[in-house]
Amino acid sequence: MTEVRHDWTQEEISKIYHSPLLDLIYRAATIHRENKDYSEVQISSLISIKTGGCPEDCAYCPQAARYSTGVDVHALMPKEEVIAVAKRAKEGGASRLCMGAAWREVRDNRDFDKVLDMVKAVNELDMEVCCTLGMLTENQAQRLADAGLYAYNHNLDTSEDDYKRIITTRTYDDRLQTLEHVRKAKISVCSGGIIGLGETTADRISMLKTLSNLPKHPESVPINALVPVKGTPLAEQPRVSVWDMVRMIATTRIIMPKTVVRLSAGRTEMSTVEQAMCFMAGANSIFAGEKLLTTPNPTFDEDMFMFDLLGLKPRKAFKNGRPNEPKELREMSINEVF
């Protein structure tokens, strides 16, 4: 079994990332098979429960109020609509629903109370529930945990050195602090980044170094390819090479062997063959459904056809145990996976 490390250096990760491509894929695939059922893929469905009007200036995001991107502002989605979307996602094969709100941070108000009710309602459907709502305080993270939240997504996006080029309305430390609050509340951590922002290879490696050297690796690491949106500062960025995605996924799999690595935004631009290479390199999670918040995504039917072709199967919900489950039962579940 591969050793789990938290002391990776930039040089070590760079050597892995730049190794000959076929050697890199083979090493990642071998580690993946040692640590997980390689044919099992976790399927999440992502919905925007509050769209547009965000005060942040993330250079890639069509939901920022300061950019003219054609995204309309919508108030918080009613709970009944969220439940209906969750049911359709579950019928399509998703085991997790991720709810995203275009907020800078969570505020202790009626909208947050409604989100807590949504978390409880989706839990009752026997689905894992994830939220991405911006920055959290310790108390807010605990309230989400008490409501039964399974995971919280808060991406680092890029390296600490590159961060101010992409976002100026919050700091890198703000993001890391939110991850600490999530971890303290015993919520599963989901944190990754985006490639194709104009970053250097060194920036990509630095971001992976930060994630892999956290006291505990994130349970999920999404690797996103930028989807350029007209009206944002990064609208003219070229498409990321699939081989860059493969290198990122394989490197993530090698340095974080037990983590779920999600092939995330950018899949609509990939052929089935290209996605197969990503799965071979260690990806074992996808977002399914027609949209990722506001950008296109493959449908459930397309993904099920691909799964059948590649011999993949959806991972069941709560494979690693349920929120607030006794420690002994969680450890039994984890041992079954690893």
* Residue whose tokens read 């409604």: 114
Q: Is 131 annotated among the ligand-binding residues?
A: no
278 labelled catalytic: no
Cβ neighbours for 305, distance < 8 A, ≥ 6 positions apart: none
Q: Is 58 annotated among the ligand-binding residues?
A: yes
Annotated catalytic residue within 27, 96, 98, 267: 98
Helix axes 172-184, 138-147, angle to 10 degrees: 40
Q: What is the DSSP letter of 304?
A: H
Q: Is 190 annotated among the ligand-binding residues?
A: yes
What b/e string do you get for 25-40 counting C-beta neighbours within 10 Å, with b at 16 or more? bebbbebbeebbebee
Q: Is 54 annotated among the ligand-binding residues?
A: yes
Alpha helices in 281-326 (DSSP H): 300-310
Annotated catalytic residue within 96, 247, 262, 267: 262
Annotated catalytic residue within 96, 143, 175, 190: 190
131 labelled catalytic: no
54 labelled catalytic: yes
Q: Is 61 annotated among the ligand-binding residues?
A: yes
58 labelled catalytic: yes
User: Cα separations (Å) of 117 from 86, 89, 129, 236, 322?
Assistant: 14, 19, 12, 40, 18
Would you call 322 exposed, middle or buried from its count of C-beta atoms within 10 A (0-12, 13-18, 19+)? middle
Cβ neighbours for 311, distance < 8 A, ≥ 6 positions apart: 39
Q: Cite the active site residues.
A: 54, 58, 61, 98, 130, 190, 262
Known binding-site positions: 54, 58, 61, 98, 130, 190, 262
Known binding-site positions for [2Fe-2S] cluster: 98, 130, 190, 262
Known binding-site positions for [4Fe-4S] cluster: 54, 58, 61
